[in-house]
Chain A
Amino acid sequence: MQRRGRGRIAYPYTVWMAIFIVIPLFLILFYSFTEGDIHNIKDLKFSLNSYKKVLEPIYLKVIGNSFVLASISTLICLIIGYPVAMIIANTDVKYRNLLLMLFIVPIWMNFLLRTYAWMSLLSPNGLVNRFLLWVGLPKLEIMPGKGAVLLGMVYNFLPFMILPIYTVLSKIDKHVIEAANDLGGNSVITFMRVILPLSIPGIVSGITMVFLPAVSTFVISGLLGGGKTPLIGDLIEQQFLSSRNWHFGSSLSIILMVMILISMAVMSRIDNSPEEEGRKI
């Protein structure tokens, strides 16, 4: 009885959610299925035109590019981030928090500024290339291009891969690993049979946390990719900020949301206990 009673203190928040999360999304859904002047609700007519537009080959290509680039950058984050998380988890407790903080601190520097800084580093006559030239090495020609966009994504979202994996790894009982070693498993076998399976929840949550912002990102592709590979985030931004086509922008948003929700559903199937760890930050 007491437990039921305490559930009630969440009611004000459910009302808040209804107003500020549910209703706004219904408004977007409403705009995506209509046509006409957005300020004149009476004039809005039901229409599927903006969804038809999404299906035009050119926009499908943009959506495809976004998913491919986001997937690749998530994979790179995983490959780079997993060893980092392992190293931190094996570090002396005293220094762990310091190391973790060093991964968080860069996020506090404005995202646009960091992206501009990458431009100064990677541009054809940028700092990296000047350095390479000085050492006598060949030029690095990745900006503008997809390589630079990937780098920008990995840079921005890498901490989100490291943190959840670290959390899971740091909780693995050291005795389990020792037991595995005692039983004659070499370090590769111990890793494959014991550590990796135990860290799956962290991997799943890391993938989620990198893939989500990567797939909907904008600005990065404009600055580092030279505008040659617009992503779905850029397209949505453009609809609301320059083309002023709210209906098309809304339907793109809905499509993006649906695809993200589907990816999430797939991910949570891989993870056995999605509610427990999968969404934990």
Chain B
Amino acid sequence: MKKNVALFVVLVLILVSVVPLAGCGSGVTINVFNWGEYMDESLIDEFEKETGIKVNYKTYATNEELLAKMEAGGSSYDVVFPSDYAISEMIKRDMLLELDFNNIPNYKYIDEQFKNTGYDPENKYSVPYFWGTIGILYNTDMVDDPVDSWDILWNPKYKGQILMKKDVRDALGVALKKLGYSMNSTNDNELAEAKEILLEQKPLVNGYYGDEIRDLIANGDAAMGLTYSGDAMDLYWEEFENIAYGVPEEGTNVWYDCMVIPASSKYKKEAEMFINFMLDPDIAFKNSEAVGYASPNTEALKRMKEEYPEVFDLPAYWPDEEILKKSEVYVDLGDYKVKYNEILTQILVN
């Protein structure tokens, strides 16, 4: 029996030694913490080869998780990719370092419309990475009405065929927008109304999910669901012909994911080199091609227009200008987000 244990340990040790440890060696290692499936990872090898800086690349699942991990402390991060409202909270709470744009010359490729934004009004902390919207992903075989309003998510005809996002901001934001209020409302009465219509909607809803919605819709499990535009793009690139994406005319949420350097960073200069590298026209194009979202990088966008002109007709890639004007970027709600969380819990439990 002892022999068996020894055999087992030896086998495992062999297995361990066969797998080489990434990120070993001398020199600087920067910690890059990104959303899952949100970067062409071969670019990291390219960066390492070009600069000699090692990259420790890890992924997370939500803005809230990133904030929770940064707030808990105990780790240093060099480049992270939060969205707009998370950035404003980070700025407010001194969780970020100011960028030195002398080290990021490629910033010139960022389109002007992505500068001087609400979440980083003086462009001191963030460099945009990708942007997109939320909207309704639907199966054209199962939905015969036009998908151009949030009302369709409340249409009794589709009882048991609707998927809602479990995300606090998205679920409540859509209800507020349907009622004609701001998606960033901090008005108790407006939120009470939103809660009411979400409870009304509940019998129609098949389930409340995260990003599983994309697969469920693709699989024909439900007729429509709330998703990020990128989910629609994924299915587009995979050539799902009966799946489409609609952005309601009432307007929606437009989000910007950016690169920032957290205050815990030990290698600010190297982190800036990484950001600069990601903005290089070639690299940004390759990344945009792999990830499938729209890039704020003018050069990358130009190349995308040359190579894939057809995607610019898709609302998932390039939403209508008029709708964008009516759309909103989430802002940090401060302490009011407790209220949002409670409402969502109440909707799910009741």
Which A residues fall within an 8 A CB radius of B? Answer: 39, 58, 61-62, 119-120, 123-126, 144, 222-223, 225-230, 235, 238, 240-245
Asked if B207 is at the interface (CB within 8 A of a chain A CB), the reply is yes
Given contacts A125-B219, A230-B348, contact A242 B206 (CB under 8 A): no
Number of A-B contacts (CB under 8 A): 69
CB <8 Å contact, B207 and A242: no
Given contacts A230-B348, A242-B65, contact A144 B341 (CB under 8 A): no
CB <8 Å contact, A230 and B67: no
Residues of A within 8 A of B337 (CB): 243
Which of the residues A119, A123, A244 comes within 8 Å of B71, measured between beta carbons?
A: A244
Residues of A within 8 A of B222 (CB): 124
Residues of B within 8 A of A125 (CB): 219-221
Least CB distance, A243 to chain B, in whole angstroms: 5
CB <8 Å contact, B346 and A58: yes
Least CB distance, A237 to chain B, in whole angstroms: 10
Asked if B338 is at the interface (CB within 8 A of a chain A CB), the reply is yes
Residues of B within 8 A of A126 (CB): 219, 221
Once bound together, how far apart are the Cα atoms of A125 and B221, in whole Å?
5
CB <8 Å contact, B349 and A62: yes
Which B residues fall within an 8 A CB radius of A? Answer: 62, 64-65, 67-68, 71, 73, 166, 168, 205-210, 212, 216, 219-222, 337-338, 341, 345-346, 348-350
Residues of B within 8 A of A228 (CB): 207-208, 348
Residues of B within 8 A of A242 (CB): 62, 64-65, 68, 168, 341
Sorted nearest first, the 7 A-B pairs with minimum C-beta distance are: A226-B207, A227-B208, A242-B64, A144-B207, A125-B220, A123-B221, A124-B221
Least CB distance, B64 to chain A, in whole angstroms: 4
Residues of A within 8 A of B349 (CB): 58, 61-62, 229-230
Once bound together, how far apart are the Cα atoms of A180 and B216, in whole Å?
56
Once bound together, how far apart are the Cα atoms of A238 and B62, in whole Å?
12
Residues of B within 8 A of A223 (CB): 209, 212
Once bound together, how far apart are the Cα atoms of A229 and B166, in whole Å?
12
When C-beta atoms are compared, the residue in chain A nearest to B73 turns out to be A39
Once bound together, how far apart are the Cα atoms of A58 and B220, in whole Å?
33
CB <8 Å contact, B67 and A244: yes
CB <8 Å contact, A243 and B207: no
Residues of A within 8 A of B166 (CB): 222, 227
Least CB distance, A78 to chain B, in whole angstroms: 28
Least CB distance, A98 to chain B, in whole angstroms: 15
When C-beta atoms are compared, the residue in chain A nearest to B163 turns out to be A226
